[in-house]
Structure 1
Amino acid sequence: MIESSLKFDPKRDEINVLAEEMVFLPASNQKKLEKRNPKVVMLIVGLIIGAALLSLMIGLLVWHFHFRPDNRVKKMYNGYLNITNKQFTEELEDSDSEEFKTLAATVEEMLQETYTKTDGLAPYYVQSTVTAFSEGSVIAYYWLECRVPPEKEAELDKAVGALSVLSRSHPRFFSKSLRVNNMVIDRADPRKVKPPKDKSCSYDMHATPGTNSTFTSPGFPHSPYPADSWCQWVIRADSDHILELNFVTFDLEKICQNDFVTVYDSLSPIEKREITERCGVYPPTNALKLISSRNVMLVTLITDDNENYPGFKAVFRQLPKRKECRKVLEGSGVFSSPYYPAYYPPRADCTWILRVPPSMKVKVVFKVFLLQELKDGVCKDYVEINNQRICGKKPVLVLLGEGNEMTVKFHSDAAESDRGFSATFESYDANKPCPDEFACTSGRCIGKDLVCDGWNDCGDNSDEINCNCKEDQFHCGTGLCKSKFWMCDGVDDCGDNSDEESCQCDPEDMKCANGRCIPEEQKCNQVDDCGDRSDEKDCQHESMSVTCTASTYKCSNNLCIRKKNPECDGTRDCADGSDEQNCSCGFRPYKHSRIVGGVDAEIGEWPWQVSLHVKNHGNTCGASVISNHWLVSAAHCFQNTFGTKYSDPNLWTAYLGLHVQLELNDRVVKRDIKQIIVHESYNLQTFDNDIALLELSSPVAFSNVIQPICLPDATHSFPVGKSVWVTGWGKLKEDGYEAKVLQKAELRIIKRPICNTLLSSTVTSRMLCAGFLSGGIDACQGDSGGPMSSVEGNGRVFLAGIVSWGDGCARRNKPGVYTKAAKFRQWIKMRSGV
């Protein structure tokens, strides 16, 4: 009956079906149903609670190990260690060889055993990975990976550092099969971390005896290097050799945080073995040439995701390792840091014993001295003479010995090299150290006519001490004599500001609270020009609109702002951003560390410099690039003379990107001149309005050696005392020969009223006066029309002036005069559209 009642019959109606399906069975014991046994109930409850707790524990464990956020930080360290009971074999160069894999596994097992027993490190240890081997007996390079809570990072760094120190000072057995000492390990720069097993963009190379080998960044020279790349080149030489690496082309982004090349004296990218880290662009004349201390070198290229550049081309070769760097030199001669002018190698120690005749003493002159600066108050790389250690970057340095023999020692540490030094030595008579010249306390010899002339020619002011001031000089508080022309010009020439105190200021100047005078345009420029900040008090916000005057900068929306020289300074000051528009100028791709008294410029150091040639006569004038088809020069270059029509464009040829006269290469661009526009108010007698525009026959493409210079706004200020640079191929001295290599010299802007008292013609408000009253440095014939360049605080360069006229070349108290470019900004715009 029960069975049949569970069957479904579609013929029955719904109520009957439900009634038939509901069957109640009688209970066999009614009392048991009403009341269960307490023990059974407790057992059931216990089982339920236990199951719940077990489920909770399992859930917590699953969450902890699979779903809980891991806030530990991945920390990478890299380093190397010496295995003293193994010998290096050629097979260990190949990471795919069985010998490499076997030894790597043994080293990794040893490292794991060591680090998992090291206090402060063991809880965070993940793994160690060997990446390379080299001679020495065998040096193993490896990465160490740890994971540590953020609050424990410093503790972990300290533990790793302590282990490295202990290993170097206490060689010991780390395992049964390996004897290890000299372990160097340090925290890896996060920018330079790459998975150790990642072999993409990784190259292994070995120098070939007697030949040069080449490698380039990916894509060079046909395309820029790739974005977000991490490339490395492992370079080796034969045993008992070192490596010379020369970057013949180097063109990377100028910000090293984005794209950079690092070179290591190691096969592991460890900072303690970093030779140098570089970015930007270097010209062939200032190329990077690096030397290793042993037969391995590692080069890495790291880039970000934008603004990729051409990259580099590098050449390397192997050189025999010097067994000893010790020489005895007698009489006179030249000596230098190892491999100069290449960067000196790490871990170098050299000694020179200099000897002169017994009756004489030794003098050493360092003409170049470029060592690493002090670090933590200590010279890491240094030259040691007379128990004195010298480091850093020095101008001409002269040292005198106490007898006829001098010992010079050179030392470099394991990282960060520089160009080193070049020195000469000779004998001198202590009674007559400078025959027919003045002997400076520093050991330098200068002409007697330079003594007490108001200029620190010795470098230590010893030529200006105990002087009787002349009529055209005044006494500084320091006891020095200075030219009266420098009084109250806003520049501290005395060193104690005494030449700038209690000044009667000119009408166009502002008087500071301390009595100093500064140009009015320096007020409220966010620079403490007064020295007591009185020029920066009660100033409105620079970007706030102010009443327009002749000295305020006008934005494109016709509103004026107080800030001086706001154009192209990297800060948006105008509400419409017009002060930062059209700023593709004044950039010098190459970085570098006519000029009478000047020095050779580097290739591309002044990429707007143009050489103007009169056909069949060579360099005649200079000019500046202001756009891809316009140049600016001096009007007087194009004035007709008897027999020569200099105003004819067909007479001229422009050479852009030129460095050495008559040396044309693929960097130099030659253009004819389409038209010459001379300022209509140019005065042939006074040189007033001495400016001209030249249109090229066809546009030029900008490059590392051809760039436009920035044109200053009409309100742009180039204050008295500011340093500027003048360049050109003009005569090296009055009535002398012209320069073949582009020359550069640093000058100083001089007050116009002072120049008017010195020069034969009037210096108008449309001119700038610059030079040194002591003479010796100036522009000269052949420099006319070239640029006077002003490097602003952000590194951008503006055209301050155009070489115009002067009384002779580099005469004392005869500074040069330059066309003031800012006065002609609107004229240039109107005539050329630039």
Structure 2
Amino acid sequence: MDPMESEQKFGLKQEANEDPLLPPNPDGDPSIEFLQASDNNELEKEPGRRRTMWIGLGLLASAAALTLVTGLLVWHFHLRSDVRVKKLYIGSLGISNQAFLAEHEDPSSHQFKKLADLVNQQLHLIYSKNLVLSKYFRGSTVQAFSEGDGSDGIMAYYESEFEVPVPQQTSLDEAIESLEPPEESQQGRQGRLLLKPKDLLDVSSVTSGALDPRLTKTSISDRDLTNIHVRKEGLIQSPGFPDTSYPPNIYRQWRLRADPQHRIRLSFHTLILEDDCQHDFIKIYDSLAPMEPRALTEQCGYPFNSLSFLSSGNVMLLTLVTNKEKNFPGFRAFYSQLPLNDGGCGGALRGDKGSFSSPFYPENYPPRTSCVWTIEVSAEKFVKVQFHEFSVGSPGSECVGDYVEVDGNRLCGRKLKNTVITSESNKMTIKFESNASYVDLGFTAQYEAFVPTNPCPGKFQCRNNMCINTTLQCDGWSDCDDRSDEHNCKCKESQVKCKNGLCKPGIWRCDGMDDCGDNTDEENCGKCSGTQFSCRNGRCISENLKCNGQNDCGDGSDESRCLKSLPLPCSEFTFSCGTGSCISKQNPECDDVSDCEDGSDEADCSCGIRPFQSSRIVGGEISREGEWPWQVSLHATGFGHVCGASVLNARWLLTAAHCVQDKFSQTDQWQVFLGLHVQGQTNEWTVSRKVIKIIAHEDYEPRTYDNDIALMELDASVALNQHIWPICLPSPTYDFPSGQEAWITGWGATTEGGSSVSVLQKAAVRIVNSTVCKSLMTDDVTDRMLCAGVLTGGVDACQGDSGGPLTVTNPGGRAFLAGVVSWGEGCGVRGKPGVYTRITKFRNWIKEKSGV
């Protein structure tokens, strides 16, 4: 946001030596003297007279001051009411008695100027019929023409300027809004809005709104407009992209036109802007002018939702606005055109099972869209529809914008995933509507016929009408979104019976997570009572002794999560500063707080923060480009992608020892790809390097995967940027508690025994308690291993992910390497977490071998 101008404020100041009983000397003139009394004694005999005189003078002065202040106030507010501000409004006119010509694209052509003159006359006529608009209107400028739709033969885009007194701004806005045509027939609109002479334009529609004030900032020094015909595929890039950040204080517009009866698709390959949309942002409009009623989206930061947008007709406008500070890489977007009738909107659905979705899903649906699906199943059955994904409009009781309507009942919002709706007949009608602005991802749904007396044959029926396998009932996991499969259960011996009546797997007892929801599974987990604190060394102390500035535990753990760190003797539980002294604070490194006297806990912290950040794995999802800049792809000659690795600095990588054994132990077999997102598709951010040194841990045990860690040195340093960046290495005492969220990334198989994927995948897991993990796994889990996963199954690392990172983010948003993908028993098996090399056990080894 531009800095605001500041004003000095002045006030009257009384001199220190001024007598408050004397009448004021307005000019401060020292030559003015007051007459001396002729008889002091006489005056002393009549004190009441002197007091009366001064009271009279005081009243006179007060009256004068009051008159002056009143005059100033009247003058001020009268002047204020005369202060006028310029207001700009953007709008469009649909004109039915004119046809669009190719010359209307050229503002210098005779046809453009002639029609623009008529539009300006028509706007003057429209404003003349409103007292507010006619009084403050100063002029209009036609910006562009395009083909119309419906009854509009041509669409004119204009900007109108008004000068209005400050108190009248609201009245002006209301008057402009009154130009919006009502929801009725075009003929009715014309009769209500415009009493037009026959020699002027036949206006069939009016849309208008205030211009976004961020587009008129006085700080903008560079304005530019580009016209693009979208007959062939092409791309748009922000200025300087990808070599430099975009310039400051610019306003850029790209007007896109497609062929008649076509729509425009604009898909962002990369979008990295400043987080604050008041500073830098892009905005897309379903028009050729920046009309707020036709705005499709506004984006800033580093968004991760769908970034593919479609127009309703053959025009679209992309805008970019930046301020003077914090310039970022910008964007690259690809455009194309496609026929208007593409998109699969509505229709008759027959048969007892099927699926449907909003147009162009999983891209954002286009504006001004209406679809109707009619479902009809066998006569003796009813219909059930389940929405697997749902992001349509804003939640609210009315659902007046974008919505889905099922047999007359409207749905909107983003919390309707897995919603099930049933009919009471063999027919169902589903309607989807989107208005003219702000689109969303849409929905995907599946319908199925069912017998009314048995809606879930052979399965358990949830209260929300979902059907799940009976084996999932009372298993401790909520498979019904409403948890109804876990109610009224009789707990098995292998389960924890929660006080709230739920049954949870026994393996979750004392794992550091409140799985019951009432903490039942975390009670009585050690020898410490409920009123005691459990120290990391096993001692029990009173809860009242935490954060009292004393090392009551003996290992400092009672002071490790306090605001102020405590100097302590060094141990396995304390962080060692550069001076050799130790502090009690847990995980102090790179948390943006200097805890060591020498600041060593904040040294070497140019890692783990994705440059320009906003802040397939089994069961995972596709990642965005640049989201995991420390992820590396290791290719072996003749095999392609084999393993993953992590960037430690411009020269060194960390991977798993089992990736570089036997036939893969030679450096000349490896080619390293950094900044890669899609296998086989390199771009300007992808860097390829050879390997000149491989250092596998000398105690690596191939049978048990113990000490499964290795270093790789590149043949040349790489330039670090937003797509290639090192991850932070944790200190030996860094604590990754059970239950903490972590992320696994890689190009490995999405199913056990499957093939690797092309696009980098990501999945969220959580750290699993070591004791619990050892009880779950058949093979040995050593202290040099870390377990993480989702014990419900379905999310895990798999073949091809080996050597890649297990990433944990600290509260400040900095990423640390908790583990290296090592081994597992199957992929995504329920109750079987993934096993990773525990980096904290190898921090000194990494430093010794690589210097990192």
TM (normalized to structure 2)? 0.74
Task: Tell me the residue number matched to 2:505.
Answer: 483
- In the alignment, the residues of structure 2 paired with residue 649 and residue 387 of structure 1 have an alpha-carbon distance, to the nearest angstrom, of 67
Task: Tell me the residue number matched to 2:88.
Answer: 76
Q: CA deviation at 1:417?
A: 1.1
Task: Tell me the residue number matched to 2:214.
Answer: 191
Task: Tell me the residue number matched to 1:25.
Answer: none
Q: Name the SS of the counterpart of 2:712 in structure 1.
A: strand
Q: Summarize deviations over 1:439-476 as a string: whole Å, max 9, x none.
A: 44445443333222111123232322322111121233
Q: Does 1:142 align with 2:158?
A: yes
What amino acid is the match of 2:319?
T
* 1:226-245 alignment runs, 5 A limit: 226-245=247-266
In the superposition, relative to structure 1, how do residues 162 and 697 fare at CA in structure 2: closer, same or farther (>3 Å)?
same
Q: CA deviation at 1:264?
A: 0.2
Task: Tell me the residue number matched to 2:43.
Answer: none
Q: Name the SS of the counterpart of 1:460 in structure 2.
A: coil
Q: Summarize deviations over 1:323-367 as a string: whole Å, max 9, x none.
A: 995411211444322233432111111101112222333343444
* 1:85-100 alignment runs, 5 A limit: 86-100=98-112
- In the alignment, the residues of structure 2 paired with residue 323 and residue 715 of structure 1 have an alpha-carbon distance, to the nearest angstrom, of 55
- In the alignment, the residues of structure 1 paired with residue 545 and residue 157 of structure 2 have an alpha-carbon distance, to the nearest angstrom, of 57
Q: Name the SS of the counterpart of 1:354 in structure 2.
A: strand
Q: Does 1:301 align with 2:320?
A: yes
In the superposition, relative to structure 1, how do residues 415 and 791 fare at CA in structure 2: closer, same or farther (>3 Å)?
farther
Contact 1:543–1:574 (Cα < 8 Å) also in 2: no
Task: Tell me the residue number matched to 2:367.
Answer: 346
Q: Does 1:288 align with 2:307?
A: yes
Contact 1:225–1:311 (Cα < 8 Å) also in 2: no
Q: CA deviation at 1:263?
A: 1.0
In the superposition, relative to structure 1, how do residues 385 and 578 fare at CA in structure 2: closer, same or farther (>3 Å)?
farther
Task: Tell me the residue number matched to 1:314.
Answer: 334
Counterpart selection for 2:746 from 723, 728, 747: 728
Q: CA deviation at 1:71?
A: 6.9
What amino acid is the match of 2:846?
I
In the superposition, relative to structure 1, how do residues 413 and 686 fare at CA in structure 2: closer, same or farther (>3 Å)?
same
- In the alignment, the residues of structure 2 paired with residue 524 and residue 99 of structure 1 have an alpha-carbon distance, to the nearest angstrom, of 85
Q: Name the SS of the counterpart of 2:743 in structure 1.
A: strand
Contact 2:222–2:251 (Cα < 8 Å) also in 1: no
Q: CA deviation at 1:694?
A: 1.6
Counterpart selection for 2:113 from 87, 90, 101: 101
* 1:118-137 alignment runs, 5 A limit: 118=130, 126-134=138-146, 135=148, 136-137=152-153
In the superposition, relative to structure 1, how do residues 75 and 439 fare at CA in structure 2: closer, same or farther (>3 Å)?
same
Q: CA deviation at 1:600?
A: 4.8
Contact 1:590–1:605 (Cα < 8 Å) also in 2: no
Q: CA deviation at 1:739?
A: 5.2
Task: Tell me the residue number matched to 2:433.
Answer: 411
Q: CA deviation at 1:191?
A: 1.6
* 1:663-674 alignment runs, 5 A limit: 668-674=686-692
Q: Runs of 5+ in structure 1 lacking a partner?
A: 1-59, 527-535
Q: CA deviation at 1:632?
A: 1.1
Counterpart selection for 2:710 from 676, 692, 705: 692
- In the alignment, the residues of structure 2 paired with residue 558 and residue 87 of structure 1 have an alpha-carbon distance, to the nearest angstrom, of 82
* 1:318-717 alignment runs, 5 A limit: 319-320=339-340, 325-331=345-351, 332-374=353-395, 378=399, 380-393=401-414, 394-495=416-517, 497-499=518-520, 502-504=523-525, 542=563, 565=587, 567-568=589-590, 582-587=604-609, 595-601=617-623, 603-638=625-660, 644=662, 647-659=665-677, 668-680=686-698, 682=700, 687-702=705-720, 705-717=723-735
Contact 2:181–2:193 (Cα < 8 Å) also in 1: no
- In the alignment, the residues of structure 1 paired with residue 767 and residue 343 of structure 2 have an alpha-carbon distance, to the nearest angstrom, of 54
Q: Summarize deviations over 1:591-622 as a string: whole Å, max 9, x none.
A: 99964444455555433233334544555443
Q: Summarize deviations over 1:64-94 as a string: whole Å, max 9, x none.
A: 9xx9999755443322344455554444433
Q: Runs of 5+ in structure 2 lacking a partner?
A: 1-71, 548-556
Q: Name the SS of the counterpart of 2:484 in structure 1.
A: coil
- In the alignment, the residues of structure 1 paired with residue 616 and residue 118 of structure 2 have an alpha-carbon distance, to the nearest angstrom, of 66
Counterpart selection for 2:819 from 801, 804, 808: 801
Q: Name the SS of the counterpart of 1:392 in structure 2.
A: coil
- In the alignment, the residues of structure 1 paired with residue 383 and residue 319 of structure 2 have an alpha-carbon distance, to the nearest angstrom, of 45
- RMSD (Å), alpha carbons: 4.7
In the superposition, relative to structure 1, how do residues 326 and 146 fare at CA in structure 2: closer, same or farther (>3 Å)?
same
Counterpart selection for 1:719 from 732, 737, 752: 737
In the superposition, relative to structure 1, how do residues 96 and 802 fare at CA in structure 2: closer, same or farther (>3 Å)?
same
Larger radius of gyration: 1
In the superposition, relative to structure 1, how do residues 572 and 164 fare at CA in structure 2: closer, same or farther (>3 Å)?
farther
Q: Summarize deviations over 1:236-266 as a string: whole Å, max 9, x none.
A: 3455443333445555556544433211012
* 1:37-56 alignment runs, 5 A limit: none
In the superposition, relative to structure 1, how do residues 598 and 508 fare at CA in structure 2: closer, same or farther (>3 Å)?
farther
Contact 1:280–1:589 (Cα < 8 Å) also in 2: no
Q: Summarize deviations over 1:555-591 as a string: whole Å, max 9, x none.
A: 6677877765555556777787766654443355799
Q: Name the SS of the counterpart of 1:824 in structure 2.
A: helix
- In the alignment, the residues of structure 1 paired with residue 759 and residue 372 of structure 2 have an alpha-carbon distance, to the nearest angstrom, of 36
- In the alignment, the residues of structure 2 paired with residue 587 and residue 233 of structure 1 have an alpha-carbon distance, to the nearest angstrom, of 33
Q: Does 1:775 align with 2:793?
A: yes
Q: How many residues get paired?
A: 747
In the superposition, relative to structure 1, how do residues 510 and 491 fare at CA in structure 2: closer, same or farther (>3 Å)?
farther
After TM superposition, the structure 1 stretch with the greater mean CA deviation from structure 2, 296-305 or 166-175, is: 166-175
Q: CA deviation at 1:765?
A: 4.8
Q: CA deviation at 1:131?
A: 2.0
What amino acid is the match of 1:485?
I
- In the alignment, the residues of structure 1 paired with residue 157 and residue 209 of structure 2 have an alpha-carbon distance, to the nearest angstrom, of 12
Contact 2:141–2:159 (Cα < 8 Å) also in 1: yes
- In the alignment, the residues of structure 2 paired with residue 213 and residue 673 of structure 1 have an alpha-carbon distance, to the nearest angstrom, of 37
What amino acid is the match of 2:224?
C
What amino acid is the match of 1:204?
N
Contact 1:379–1:391 (Cα < 8 Å) also in 2: no
- In the alignment, the residues of structure 2 paired with residue 437 and residue 797 of structure 1 have an alpha-carbon distance, to the nearest angstrom, of 43
TM (normalized to structure 1)? 0.76
Q: Summarize deviations over 1:268-297 as a string: whole Å, max 9, x none.
A: 2122211112345689xx873321112322
Task: Tell me the residue number matched to 1:17.
Answer: none
In the superposition, relative to structure 1, how do residues 369 and 322 fare at CA in structure 2: closer, same or farther (>3 Å)?
same
- In the alignment, the residues of structure 2 paired with residue 248 and residue 523 of structure 1 have an alpha-carbon distance, to the nearest angstrom, of 54
Q: Name the SS of the counterpart of 1:171 in structure 2.
A: helix
Q: CA deviation at 1:102?
A: 4.3
In the superposition, relative to structure 1, how do residues 292 and 488 fare at CA in structure 2: closer, same or farther (>3 Å)?
same
In the superposition, relative to structure 1, how do residues 292 and 627 fare at CA in structure 2: closer, same or farther (>3 Å)?
same
- In the alignment, the residues of structure 2 paired with residue 475 and residue 467 of structure 1 have an alpha-carbon distance, to the nearest angstrom, of 10
Contact 1:167–1:182 (Cα < 8 Å) also in 2: no
Contact 1:192–1:269 (Cα < 8 Å) also in 2: no
In the superposition, relative to structure 1, how do residues 676 and 82 fare at CA in structure 2: closer, same or farther (>3 Å)?
same
Q: Summarize deviations over 1:3-23 as a string: whole Å, max 9, x none.
A: xxxxxxxxxxxxxxxxxxxxx
After TM superposition, the structure 1 stretch with the greater mean CA deviation from structure 2, 451-460 or 644-653, is: 644-653
Contact 1:724–1:789 (Cα < 8 Å) also in 2: yes
In the superposition, relative to structure 1, how do residues 544 and 123 fare at CA in structure 2: closer, same or farther (>3 Å)?
farther
Contact 1:546–1:561 (Cα < 8 Å) also in 2: yes
Q: Name the SS of the counterpart of 1:294 in structure 2.
A: coil
- In the alignment, the residues of structure 2 paired with residue 236 and residue 253 of structure 1 have an alpha-carbon distance, to the nearest angstrom, of 29
In the superposition, relative to structure 1, how do residues 320 and 815 fare at CA in structure 2: closer, same or farther (>3 Å)?
closer
Q: CA deviation at 1:704?
A: 5.6
In the superposition, relative to structure 1, how do residues 741 and 123 fare at CA in structure 2: closer, same or farther (>3 Å)?
closer
